[in-house]
């Protein structure tokens, strides 16, 4: 039985207990929310997950870090370094997006070393080898499940009806999802239906066996703010909402992926629309990036959008690094991306009224009032940077910081 089926049967699993304790939520509440589909616990039966995570209603907003080889940078060791950096920076989940000749080894090594949920996009592997037939695609998906992957992105919402929307759309950037582009190109070349949509029930049976969570990919997400909330995006979202119910009926955990590039004034509308059309299923968003011109600083444009999205109800933020749109991120890019996205997630948790988040901020505020620097540094979201900056910018061991010195307001007004 899957975590969803066990929750419906009234059973609290070891993974539910462990994750509930980390969240500070009663295990019975966790069970009820998983049973209702508004919370998920990605945990493949094939591996012993050391740090299971809850994603969804009432849980803290989670942060995912993407890593993975490419054709130009196929070295697995570099990706394992990024894995360690992402985990040290506080990532709640890792997605291996590897391409290139070493992709299977990269996945094996990441799964071996990663204590948090690991996700993949199986169509990348099938596309890399140039074979998107139903049999090959399902063979790759089963291989990922058997290896122990906890959640997979599958672009099931692009069918022939939705394809008509994108063909008639005056989009600036067209299709920017790599997985979405693989599917659309294959459909155009063969004239056949998307195998992930046409054989969705078979896909559900496959992933149910391993209790792999489906992340329903947004293959038509907007890649430009001018394309946000358009016909193709909404047409796909409608299909994903229907697929959510079909997954639940088969006992499969599911979340839904969201946009992309969205201007500030449309973010809340996007989140509320998704929650309504997809029946409260957890929402996983990339950014969203609030402007197209932040190249080199897109971890900031995404953090701005991510904070607004999560405050409006998004549950899972996929990080964006400074290298987005420019090239494969290095370890420092990964670290900056995780930290920026964690700040966005935590800011949103305050807006959501998450008690755990408020207690953290109150403890920091108290330490500031008391000029307790060691406690402030211990409570900093990015302790390493805070410690280095405190040491570099303050002479000696004075109680105040070098900005106000003896005129520190905290010291003068007790």
CB atoms within 10 A of CB 238: 14
Instruction: State the DSSP H helix or E strand holding residue 183, giving kind and residue range, or none if neither.
Output: helix 178-190
Q: Are 247 and 202 in contact (CB under 8 A)?
A: no
- Measure Cα distances from 38 to 164, 230, 248, 361, 386 in Å: 31, 26, 11, 27, 36
Q: What number of CA atoms fall less than 13 Å from residue 348's CA on the CB side?
A: 29
- Under 8 Å between Cβ of 197 and 258: no
pLDDT < 50 positions in the chain:
none
* Residue 221 assigned to a binding site: yes
Q: How far apart are CA 195 and CA 127, in angstroms?
A: 14
Flag whether 66 is marked binding.
yes
Residues 222, 285: Cα–Cα separation, whole Å? 12
Per the structure block, which two tokens stand in for 130?
């140039």
pLDDT of residue 166: 87
Is 325 annotated as ligand-binding? yes
Q: Is 404 annotated as a binding residue?
A: yes
236 is in an annotated binding site: no
Would you say 16 is a known binding-site residue? no
Q: What is the pLDDT of residue 414?
A: 66
Concatenating the DSSP letter of every residue in 136-155 gives HHHHHHHHHHHHT-SEEEE-
Which of 141, 184, 190 lies closest to 163, judged by CA? 184
Query: How confident is the model at residue 30, as a pLDDT?
Result: 98
Q: How far apart are CA 109 and CA 101, in angstroms?
A: 14
401 a known binding residue? yes
| Residue 319 assigned as binding residue | no
Q: The tokens of 193 are what? A: 């239906």
pLDDT of residue 124: 93
- Tell whether residue 257 is among the known ligand binding residues: yes
C-alpha dihedral over 308, 311, 313, 315, to 10 degrees? 90
- The answer to whether 161 and 206 have CB atoms below 8 angstroms apart is no
Which domains, ranges and CATH numbers included, belong to the chain? 41-51+61-353 (3.20.20.540), 356-412 (no CATH)
Average pLDDT, rounded, for the chain: 95
Q: Is residue 96 classed as helix, strand or coil in its secondary structure?
A: strand
Say what the pLDDT of residue 134 is. 93
Q: Is the dihedral of CA 240, 241, 245, 248 positive or negative?
A: positive
Q: Is 145 annotated as a binding residue?
A: no
């Amino acid at each position: 039985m899957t975590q969803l089926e066990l929750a419906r049967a009234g059973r609290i699993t070891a993974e539910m207990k462990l994750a509930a304790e980390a969240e500070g939520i009663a295990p019975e509440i966790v069970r009820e929310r998983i049973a209702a589909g508004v919370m998920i616990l990605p945990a493949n039966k094939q591996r012993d997950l050391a740090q299971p995570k809850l994603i969804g209603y009432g849980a803290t907003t989670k942060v995912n870090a993407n890593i993975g080889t490419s054709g130009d940078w196929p070295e697995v060791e570099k990706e394992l370094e990024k894995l360690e950096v992402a985990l040290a920076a506080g990532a709640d989940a890792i997605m291996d997006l590897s391409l290139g000749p070493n992709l299977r080894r990269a996945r094996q090594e990441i799964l071996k070393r990663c204590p948090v949920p690991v996700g993949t996009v199986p169509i990348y592997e099938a596309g890399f080898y140039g074979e998107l037939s139903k049999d090959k695609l399902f063979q790759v998906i089963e291989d990922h499940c058997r290896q122990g992957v906890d959640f997979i992105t599958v672009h099931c919402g692009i069918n022939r009806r939705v394809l008509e929307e994108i063909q008639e759309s005056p989009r600036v950037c067209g299709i920017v999802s790599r997985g979405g582009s693989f599917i659309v190109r294959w459909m155009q070349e063969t004239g056949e239906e998307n195998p992930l949509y046409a054989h969705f029930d078979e896909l559900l049976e496959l992933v149910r066996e391993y209790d792999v969570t489906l992340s329903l990919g947004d293959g038509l997400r907007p890649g430009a703010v001018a394309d946000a909330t358009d016909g193709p995006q909404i047409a796909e979202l409608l299909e994903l909402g229907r697929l959510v119910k079909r997954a639940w009926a088969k006992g499969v955990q599911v979340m839904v992926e969201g946009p992309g590039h969205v201007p500030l004034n449309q973010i809340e509308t996007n989140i509320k629309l998704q929650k309504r059309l997809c029946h409260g299923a957890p929402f996983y968003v990339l950014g969203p990036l609030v402007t197209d011109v932040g190249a080199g600083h897109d971890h900031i444009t995404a953090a701005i959008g991510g904070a607004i999205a999560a405050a409006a109800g998004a549950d899972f933020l996929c990080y964006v690094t400074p290298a987005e749109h420019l090239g494969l991120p290095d370890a420092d890019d990964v670290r900056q991306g995780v930290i920026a996205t964690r700040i966005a997630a935590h800011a949103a948790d305050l807006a959501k009224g998450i008690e755990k988040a408020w207690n953290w901020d109150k403890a920091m505020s108290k330490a500031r009032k008391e000029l307790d620097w060691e406690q402030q540094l211990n409570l900093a979201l990015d302790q390493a940077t805070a410690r280095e900056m405190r040491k570099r910018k303050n002479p000696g061991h004075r109680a105040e910081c070098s900005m106000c010195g003896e005129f520190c307001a905290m010291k003068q007004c007790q």
